[in-house]
Amino acid sequence: MPISENLAAWLAPYLKKSGPVWPHGHDYFYESQRPVALNAEVKWEQNALRHSFISYRMAIVKDANQVAQEAGNSPDIIFRNYLELVTQTQARNWFSIEPKAQENVISIGSAR
């Protein structure tokens, strides 16, 4: 899948020369989400971020074949479950969500 500018910003603190971003297993990932959702008072659905990515990506690129390839899915599933669920404006907003900038960090983009 493509790494959008906002995804790069979320991943930046975990950048390493090699190895996985998430060094733990699949189950631990979901176990780690549970307390965060409870603290935020949000009902968390399994694969919510994946479903959101597909919906918002489809609104931006409007190409089920491309989105299916990026998401590891089939175009039929994309058409059946993700077509026209969100607007292009909502998708642009979702792909612009970035982590709060740390006061003691200068981004590479602003240092140019």
Question: Is 71 a member of any domain?
Answer: yes
Question: Is 83 a member of any domain?
Answer: yes
Question: Is 76 a member of any domain?
Answer: yes
DSSP state of 99: P
Banded pLDDT at 105 (limits 50, 70, 90): low
Q: What is the mean pLDDT of residues 59-86?
A: 93
Helices (H), the chain: 5-11, 26-40, 48-61, 64-71, 75-82, 88-94
What range does the domain containing 66 cover? Answer: 48-99
**Count of structural domains within the chain:** 1
Question: Is 87 a member of any domain?
Answer: yes
Question: Is 67 a member of any domain?
Answer: yes
Q: Tell me which of 56-65, 71-80, 102-111 is least confident.
A: 102-111
Question: Is 13 a member of any domain?
Answer: no
Q: What is the mean pLDDT of residues 81-110?
A: 83
pLDDT at 107 (0 to 100): 60
Question: Is 94 a member of any domain?
Answer: yes
Residue 56 and residue 94: Cα distance in Å, rounded? 7
Q: What is the mean pLDDT of residues 12-31?
A: 87
